[in-house]
Structure 1
Amino acid sequence: MSRIQKTDINAKQAKFLKSRAKRKSFIGGRGSGKSTVMGLQVGSMWQEFPRATWVAAGLTYVQLDSIVVPAIREGLELLGFYEYDPKHQPYGVYVVQSQPPKHWRTPYKKPGKKIYQYCITFINGFTIRLVSQDNKETHRGLSIDGILVDESATISFDFIEKILIPALRGRKDAPYYNHPLHHGFFDFSSASWTIEGNWIYDTEEKYKNMLKLRKEKYESLEAEGVGKGKKWLAENPPEYLYMESTYQDNQHFLPDDYGDRLRDAMDPWKYNVEVLNQRVVKLPNAYYHGFNASLNLYSKTYDYHTDQTGKLKWSSNDYHADRQLEVSLDFNADICWLLVCQEYAKEFRVINSEFKKPTVVSTEQEQSLLQQLGSWFITEYMDHGKKEVLVYGDPNGNKRSASTSKSNLVFFDEFVKILKDNGWKVFRRESKSYPNPQKRYSLVNLMLSGINENAPKVKINQTTNKSFIIALQNTLVKTDKSYSKDKKSESKARMREYATDPTDAFDYILYAKFGHLIGKTRWSNSGVITIRK
């Protein structure tokens, strides 16, 4: 710990690193230094675990490679440990994603040649396996002594529970077997955007209960004799540590106006969650009660393969560039929304979304909201292989508005013209009338729940659709049994993108494509969709 004590870090980072708890959670907003503390954790313990194997886990291998590995490098360098290079840094003590020098010690369970590309290996044999939820190759042959998890709120707890925790084995004859941190599980995360990601807060309650019990034990022993309680605390490490941190805890290392700049640049909702760690809760009268984050959300994923030299490569498999795209529009003078979707096999994916609002920027004022949306789509999917798109959306799209459309064309005509002028083949599928409220309500929840085997599973990219997901989770149903949405947010919301508008675009495309399925369902008085026999 001497190197840590000499390193300039904030108080919460120091507390985390000093703790002897096996289960530690660091929930930190932007600028809190959570990535740095993970690197410092590695730097503070690698010498104490010779030949041990720990895991650094993340949602995707791309995330591990681009965020976690640099954070570990940074933490190690802060402590005076450098990456080995035979020519430039022969004094280095670790190598990244490559086989170590032959004279270095090896871990008790030595990785195969192909696995070293997923490892950080130290001179004393301490090894970190880089394990991602989306790449099963990184899971092979795990037998580990500890777990580090990056952005744990984005990871399925099933992956933690079924893949990582059962691999906590190691050797009983290892010199570190009785080390307080052996078989440790430390996670580092921003606040969760989803209800399912709230498993990261489980440690908090356990930590609070533990503190209460340790305090009672301490006071009881001190009553028997001064010093007994203190001795017991020293001999019995805590089981848990939970802490939350914001940029304010790390202000000493940040520009004075860091918080103000974040507040000015970010939407209030994102600022509250991603900076201040505020938690997202599910509303009891939610319109989209069938929505389940673990079922309906996915992160941008990748296909992994090795090139001719054996080096790992990856490419996005978020959607199919050789198939048609589908879009759905919602029109309003205050905001226009576009959802980009694709149905393939047994999934209906919302792969992207965008909104445009009236602006004071003169260059944007020259374009209507629809022209801005059309331009965004053309740019975003410039490299799409099959330039065919099906257009769905608001029945109101066959009208005109000065702010929404600056031409004499109706909304749909103007949007379609932009796409056609840029080489896209367009098939129009817009709604001619608004769907029956009860059937609409039943269908969208039927689709989200995934209970109809004949319907594709609805999947929403949680990385590219944050505003849409917020709106989806916060749209309320009226309590008058009309099955209609409570639209108050469209007039009262400070940030219009979090109002109900994008959810209407979602409904339109689902109803147009899958409305026929509602004939096979009925609505029970309990509010549960059931299948007719």
Structure 2
Amino acid sequence: MKVGAIFNDFPRATFVIAGLTYVQLDSIVVPSLRDALEKMGYYEYDPKVCPWGVYVIGKVPPERWARPYKRPGKKVMQYCMTFINGLTIRFVSQDNPDSHRGLSIEGILIDESATISYEFVKRVLIPALRGNVMAPYHGHPWQFGFFDFSSASWTTEGNWIYDTEEKYKKMLEERSKMTKEQLKAIPPEFLFLESTYHDNQKYLPADYGKMLQDTLDPLEFEVEVLNKRLVQIPNAYYHGFSTTRHSYKISYDYRPNDKGVITWSSNDYDRDKPLELSLDFNTDICWLLVCQELGREFRVVNSMYKKPHGTKEQQESNILIQLADWFCETYQSHEKKDVFIYGDPGGNSTSATTSADNLPFFDQFCNKLKSKGFNIFRRELVSYPKHKDKFILVNYLLGESNERAPKIRMNMINNKAFMIALQNTKVKTDKTFKKDKSSEKSARQREYATDGTDAFDYIIWAKYKNLMPREGWQSTGVITISR
């Protein structure tokens, strides 16, 4: 709706809509924009189907349309939304920052700003707010405006979105002391609004809130639906983990193809090196982590889980084979077909879900990958490490105090459920150093329980147990929900 209002008031202006990746902007933001504009009576132009349309996306507009003050080059038109009055919306992604330097814009809109790095906002977007002071809309309260929209942040890095709240509160306090003349002469500068589905209830089913509460895990419901802020939980098992330090977002390369169209591909792992997989097995959920050592980093590139479906027919393809199918389909173009398999020592048993030939879990999974052309090297554990040793090692590596040890990094885009599980996992307080596994019985959304973190422990122990620190090492940390 904001873009529709900008269309009316800012002819020939240039605004930016920023997102984490072009993939996100294209698959989520653009469809939502089309839908919102259609509700306002603004349609996408098509010379045959909709000649009365007022905007185009990703193409050069008709010659008779007005042009923006700052005309984009032909190479970036595929990332532009152009209106009949010359208003141009530039789609800008954080994972390709160098292509956006030198912009001159009238305003910024950010989708899911809690996922965006403030460094990107500060160094790339804010300096571009220089616009056109000679334009007829100069002086409009939205000129040089910064508008961001987001769910509550799942990470401490994303908590910068709440800076506006503090500025808004300070502004209100200052304005409460102003005279009427001062209030009229000095317009407000900040606005911070929070809402939940309650504020939109008249447009939703009467039982919408109950439906979400019955479906979602309590933590997910509180953060995603009720906008509760994730701060810290007591007794965190992975107390050395920090989303700011251990996660990354750059995940795509953008290159022109032979037709000049920009295409994208993942750049956070090496296609010419083997992949390392770690598995955790359970009748209710199976987890797979896709990892790779890249330079001095150990990267969790991707992760996936599968849960059993309700019908017998659906369960005929058991969840372990579904995981194998997902991996083969996702990484079929990976050049190096060598795959190292790590995981649960219990994976050589046969009791999870259904298996027509009753093969051990590792055999089922590996046979599927072999049938798709992958070369398998099995490295699964044959016994479980001691709880204290496992706890110390993983947090020692997360603490990054050993220069010889690799730095653990995780793709934030691909590993949301896994990273939430890491942050939610507690250690028991009985000095046994065991994980509190109660979430595996109580969680409505099993993917946020501790299962996926076990797959992480297995590969960390198998690869780096020789880096165990000497006695005396310690670290502390907690994670909680803001009330």
**Matched position secondary structure for 1:391:** strand
**Equivalent residue in structure 2 for 1:283, among 224, 233, 236:** 233
Quote the Cα distance in structure 2 between the aligned partners of 1:179 and 1:213: 23
The structure 2 residue matched to 1:327, chosen from 250, 273, 277, is 277
Match in the other structure for 1:113: 74
Residue of structure 1 equivalent to 2:135: 174
- Rounded to whole Å, the distance in 1 between the matches of 2:159 and 2:438 is 28
> Residue 406 of structure 1: CA displacement?
7.4
Q: For residue 127 of structure 2, what is the amino acid of its counterpart? A: P
Output one character per residue of 1:101-135: Cα deviation in whole Å (capped at 9) or x when no partner.
45554444333333333322334443322211112
- 2:417 pairs, out of 467, 473, 482, with 467
Counterpart check, 1:41 vs 2:30: no
- Who is 2:114 aligned against? 153
User: Is 1:512 equivalent to 2:456 in the alignment?
Assistant: no
Cα separation, 2, equivalents of 1:68 and 1:271: 23
Counterpart residue number, 1:35: none
Deviations 1:47-79 (A, max 9, x none): 433443221111111222333333333443433
Q: Tell me the TM-score normalised to structure 2 length.
A: 0.84
CA distance 1:263–1:490, shift in 2 (3 Å): closer
Q: Residue 83 of structure 1 contacts residue 92 of structure 1 at CA under 8 Å; is this kept in 2?
A: yes
Distance in 1 between the 2:450 and 2:220 partners? 17
CA separation of 1:404 and 1:390: change in aligned 2, threshold 3 A: farther
* Mapped partners of 1:469, 1:298: distance in 2: 12
Does the CA-based 8 Å contact 1:156-1:197 persist in structure 2?
Answer: yes
1:328 Cα shift?
1.4
Equivalent residue, structure 1, for 2:151: 190
Aligned to 2:480: none
CA distance in 1 between partners of 2:61 and 2:323 (Å): 51
Aligned residue number for residue 249 of structure 1: 199
How does 1:224-243 map onto structure 2 within 5 Å? 229=180, 232-243=182-193
1:326 deviates by 1.8
Aligned to 1:294: 244
Report what 1:315 is aligned to: 265
Alignment correspondent of 1:305: 255
Instruction: Decide whether the 8 Å contact of 2:240 with 2:476 is kept in 1.
Output: no
Query: CA separation of 1:491/1:265 partners in 2, compared to 1, >3 Å: closer, same or farther?
Result: closer
Structure 2 equivalent of residue 30 of structure 1: none
2:28: which partner in 1? 67
CA distance 1:303–1:235, shift in 2 (3 Å): same
* Residue 524 to residue 318, structure 1, CA distance change in 2 (3 Å): closer
Give the structure 2 partner of residue 458 of structure 1: 408
Aligned residues of 1:115 and 1:138 also touching (Cα < 8 A): no
Structure 1 contact 395–430 (Cα < 8 Å) conserved: yes
User: Partners of 2:283 and 2:32 in 1: how far apart?
Assistant: 45
Larger radius of gyration: 1
Deviations 1:397-447 (A, max 9, x none): 344547687766554345434444555432111123333444433332243
Deviating more after overlay: 169-178 vs 59-68:
169-178
Give how far 1:516 is off.
2.5
8 A Cα contact 1:447 1:457, kept in partner: yes
Distance in 2 between the 1:330 and 1:239 partners? 51
1:390 matched to 2:340? The reply is yes
Distance 1:96 1:366 in 2: 44
**Letter of the structure 1 residue corresponding to residue 15 of structure 2:** W
CA distance in 1, matches of 2:410, 2:379: 21
Percent of aligned pairs sharing the same letter: 58
Q: Deviations over 1:463-514 (max 9, x none)?
A: 4433322220011234455544334434554544333222121011012112
Name the structure 2 match of 1:416.
366
Letter in 2 for 1:489: S
Q: Which residue of 1 aligns with 2:378?
A: 428
Kept in 2: contact 1:130–1:138 (CA 8 A): no
Give the secondary-structure state (helix, strand or coil) at the position aligned to 2:232: coil
User: SS of the residue aligned with 2:192?
Assistant: strand
- Residue identity in the other structure for 1:79: M
Alpha-carbon spacing, 1:368–1:239, altered in 2? closer, same or farther (3 Å): same
Mapped partners of 1:122, 1:169: distance in 2: 21
Question: What is the SS of the residue equivalent to 2:231?
Answer: coil
Please give the residue correspondences for 1:333-352 in structure 2 after superposition, counting only pairs within 5 Å. Answer: 335-352=285-302
TM superposition shift of 1:291: 1.5
C-alpha spacing 1:70/1:360, structure 2 compared with 1 (3 Å) = closer
Matching residue's letter, 1:60: T
AA matched with 2:82: T
- Counterpart secondary structure, 1:327: strand
CA distance in 1 between counterparts of 2:358 and 2:85 reads 74
Structure 2 vs 1, CA of residues 377 and 268 (structure 1 numbering), >3 Å: closer, same or farther?
Answer: farther
Counterpart residue number, 2:37: 76
Counterparts of 2:132 and 2:60, CA distance in 1: 23
Which stretch has the larger CA shift, 302-311 or 329-338?
A: 329-338
Of residues 56, 59, 76, the one that matches 2:17 is 56
Cα distance change of structure 1 residues 525 and 194 upon mapping to structure 2, 3 Å threshold: closer
Q: C-alpha distance in 2, partners of 1:79/1:450? A: 53
Residues 206-241 of structure 1, C-alpha deviation per residue, up to 9 Å, x if partnerless? 323333433443xxx4xxxxxxx3x65444322221
Show the counterpart of 2:447. Answer: 497
Measured at CA, do residues 515 and 409 of structure 1 come closer, stay the same or move farther in structure 2, by a change above 3 Å? same
- Specify which of 390, 408, 412 is matched with residue 440 of structure 1: 390
In structure 2, C-alpha distance between the alignment counterparts of 1:128 and 1:80, rounded to whole Å: 18
1:242 match: secondary structure? coil
Find the residue that maps to 1:281 and give its secondary structure.
strand
Q: CA contact under 8 A between 2:97 and 2:124: conserved in structure 1?
A: no
2:457 is paired with a residue of what secondary structure?
helix
Q: For residue 189 of structure 1, what is the amino acid of its counterpart?
A: S
* Bigger mean CA deviation after superposition, 78-87 or 168-177: 78-87
Does the 8 A contact of 2:421 with 2:450 survive in 1?
yes
Code of the residue aligned with 1:457 in structure 2: it is: K
After superposition, residues 366-385 of structure 1 pair within 5 angstroms as: 370-371=320-321, 373-374=323-324, 376-378=326-328, 381=331, 384-385=334-335
1:370/1:405 contact within 8 Å kept: no
- What is the deviation of 1:358? 6.2
Tell me how far apart the structure 1 counterparts of residues 311 and 129 of structure 2 sit (CA, whole Å): 56
CA RMSD, 1 decimal? 3.4
Amino acid at match of 1:213: E
Q: Per-residue displacement from partner, 1:141-195 (whole Å, max 9, x unpaired)? A: 2122211111111111110011111222224433333222221100111222222
Q: Bigger shift: 181-190 or 343-352?
A: 343-352
